């Protein structure tokens, strides 16, 4: 049963062998080369090598890092709570939340201005665009579980 | 022979049986065969017209080489190697027989493990805690917020993450090198601070991987590792383009 044997072996192997992406540059740029054999043109192959997960040195990346750092800093200064506690969630909901929130909003403002974004209502920098757009409406009529948790802080 | 030539996958020892259930490049997959000459053989198929580096073809190439290397030593060809005709392949095998045999001998029971190291992404806290310069930049960015300040901060953070990862990568290299028969640096990969292939004994590859994983765990705040292997020995078959360092011997 060739097919079965094959897939069995493949299942045992590839998590170890890595994904195709992980070995792509080896398949394309390593391996034996023999002069009398030609090699097909691989024009355009670079596209395959781009990996969105990888940090690319760019303005966008820098601003993203800066934003994350500024946020971290705020959590740091927001009272007696330690950073890990803030990140673990429980403490963050009560202690120093207001301060964090206010500061986060001002930074959100700054960052958005800095990157030439919209001038609308400030928001936590880590919320995605969709949420930002919905924000003003939610303010007036908080309905969803996710945001209602934050209500008292804003009030 | 067709006009498109002969696609060459690998050189192996003569009289080895090809793995079953595997096809070659092209769609439908070209049937595989060997061209034997003396004590060596080339694993080939007809080259499909307009061969390019399609995902399907790359996988076919890689899968066949994985299967071959499971069964014995193999000299993998670089993807996309096409000989004009069978005669050319025979001529090359004859001319290169001694070299091929020596290389096969050298690689017997060897597998390649490739490790790529990337900057750890979730380590901002520890980075800021460790780096006074970054804290100063961040304080400036908060005091006088603006595009410039944020850019300076972000750039410094990116550089610091990269340099910490590179340092960890050097540590990894010196820890793993004694466990390998040879080491070869891989092609540059964007964002990757270290791309290194290790030639290890097949029987040791699990231990080798464990050692790398252990290292990754210990240094998770500095570096993120991606391991691939056991692989066919792509990086250890050709002096061209690689800096192979034989270890120990």
**Are the Cβ atoms of A25 and B19 closer than 8 angstroms?**
no
Of A29, A40, A61, the CB nearest to B158: A61
Residue A33 has pLDDT above 80, yes or no: yes
CA distance A146 to B7: 58
Residue B171 buriedness (CB in 10 A; 0-12 / 13-18 / 19+) = middle
More confident residue, B162 or A138: B162
Residue A89 has pLDDT above 80, yes or no: no
Q: pLDDT digits over B154-188, tens only?
A: 999 989 999 999 999 999 999 999 999 999 999 88
Domain positions in chain B are 6-107, 110-246
% of residues, chain A, pLDDT over 70:
24
**Are the Cβ atoms of A69 and B138 closer than 8 angstroms?**
yes
DSSP H/E element including B69: helix B55-71
**Are the Cβ atoms of B154 and A3 closer than 8 angstroms?**
no
Residues 182-211 in B contacting A (C-alpha not used; CB under 8 Å): 186-187, 189-192, 195, 197, 209
Nearest Cα to B14, choosing from B84, B76, B97? B97
pLDDT of residue A139: 39
**Are the Cβ atoms of B75 and A32 closer than 8 angstroms?**
yes
pLDDT of residue B55: 84
Tokens of residue A24, six digits:
């792509």
CA distance B150 to B156: 10
Sequence-ordered list of residues with C-beta below 8 angstroms from that of A75, at least 6 positions apart, any chain: A83, A86, A87, A92, A100
Would you call B108 helix, strand, or coil by DSSP? coil
pLDDT of residue A2: 32
- Which residues of chain B does A111 touch, with a Cβ-Cβ cutoff of 8 Å? 150
**Are the Cβ atoms of A69 and B21 closer than 8 angstroms?**
no
Closest residue on chain A to B239 (Cα): A32
Give yes or no for a cis peptide into B230 (omega within 30° of 0): yes
Of A19, A33, A72, the CB nearest to B238: A33
- Distance from the Cα of A105 to chain B's closest Cα (Å) equals 13
- Distance from the Cα of A128 to chain B's closest Cα (Å) equals 19
CA distance B183 to B171: 15
Confidence class for position A85, pLDDT limits 50, 70, 90: very low
More confident residue, A8 or B153: B153
CB contacts < 8 A, A to B, total 224
Of B70, B154, B230, the CB nearest to A65: B154
- Which residues of chain A does B81 touch, with a Cβ-Cβ cutoff of 8 Å? 31-34, 37-39
H helices within B72-146, ranges in order? 86-107, 124-130, 132-143
More confident residue, B218 or A107: B218
Kindly state whether A58 is in contact with chain B, defined as any CB-CB distance less than 8 angstroms: no
**Are the Cβ atoms of B231 and A18 closer than 8 angstroms?**
yes
- Which residues of chain B does A10 touch, with a Cβ-Cβ cutoff of 8 Å? 63, 66
Please say whether the beta carbons of B11 and B89 come within 8 A: no
pLDDT of residue A118: 37
- Distance from the Cα of B229 to chain A's closest Cα (Å) equals 4
Residues of chain B with pLDDT under 70: 1-2, 239-249
Residues paired with B216 in a beta bridge: none
- Which residues of chain A does B186 touch, with a Cβ-Cβ cutoff of 8 Å? 25-26, 29-30
The number of angstroms, rounded, from the C-alpha of B175 to the middle of its chain's C-alpha atoms is 19
DSSP H/E element including B119: strand B110-119
ipTM for the whole complex: 0.86
CA distance B213 to B206: 10
CA distance A67 to B153: 9
Q: Which residue has the tokens 């928001």?
A: A123
Residue A45 has pLDDT above 60, yes or no: no
**Are the Cβ atoms of A61 and B154 closer than 8 angstroms?**
yes
**Are the Cβ atoms of A55 and B191 closer than 8 angstroms?**
yes
Instruction: Calculate the average pLDDT of chain A.
Output: 50
Residue A101 has pLDDT above 90, yes or no: no
pLDDT of residue B184: 95
């Amino acid at each position: 049963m060739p097919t079965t044997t094959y897939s069995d072996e493949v299942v045992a192997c590839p998590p170890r062998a890595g994904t195709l992406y992980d070995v792509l540059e080896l398949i394309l740029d390593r391996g034996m080369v023999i002069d009398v054999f030609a090699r097909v043109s691989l024009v355009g192959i670079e596209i395959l090598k781009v990996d969105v997960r990888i940090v690319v040195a760019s303005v966008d990346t820098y601003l993203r890092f800066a934003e994350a750092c500024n946020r971290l800093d705020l959590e740091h200064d927001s009272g007696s709570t330690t950073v890990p506690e803030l990140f673990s969630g429980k403490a963050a909901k009560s202690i120093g939340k207001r301060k964090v929130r206010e500061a986060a909003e001002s930074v959100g403002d700054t960052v958005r201005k800095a990157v030439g974004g919209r001038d609308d209502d400030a928001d936590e920098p880590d919320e995605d665009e969709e949420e930002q757009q919905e924000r003003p409406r939610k303010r007036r009529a908080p309905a969803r579980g996710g945001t209602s948790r934050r209500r008292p802080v804003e009030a | 022979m067709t006009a498109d030539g002969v696609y060459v996958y690998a050189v192996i020892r003569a009289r080895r049986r090809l793995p079953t259930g595997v096809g070659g490049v092209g769609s439908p997959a070209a049937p595989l065969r060997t061209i034997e000459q003396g004590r060596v053989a080339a694993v080939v198929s007809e080259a499909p017209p307009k061969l390019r580096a399609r995902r399907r073809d790359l996988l076919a190439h890689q899968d066949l080489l994985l299967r071959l290397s499971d069964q014995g030593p193999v000299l993998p060809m670089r993807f996309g190697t096409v000989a004009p005709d069978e005669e050319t392949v025979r001529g090359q095998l004859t001319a290169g027989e001694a070299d091929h045999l020596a290389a096969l001998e050298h690689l017997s029971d060897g597998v390649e493990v490739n490790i790529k190291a990337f900057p750890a992404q979730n380590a901002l806290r520890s980075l800021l805690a460790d780096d006074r310069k970054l804290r100063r930049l961040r304080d400036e960015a908060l005091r006088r917020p603006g595009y410039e300040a944020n850019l300076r901060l972000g750039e410094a953070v990116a550089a610091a993450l990269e340099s910490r990862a590179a340092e960890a990568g050097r540590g990894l290299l010196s820890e793993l090198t004694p466990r390998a028969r040879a080491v070869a640096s891989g092609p540059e990969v964007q964002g990757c601070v270290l791309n290194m292939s290790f030639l290890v004994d097949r029987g040791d590859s699990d231990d080798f991987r464990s050692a790398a994983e252990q290292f990754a765990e210990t240094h998770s705040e500095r570096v993120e590792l991606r391991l691939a292997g056991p692989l066919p020995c792509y990086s250890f078959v050709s002096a061209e383009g690689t800096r192979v360092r034989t270890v120990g011997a």
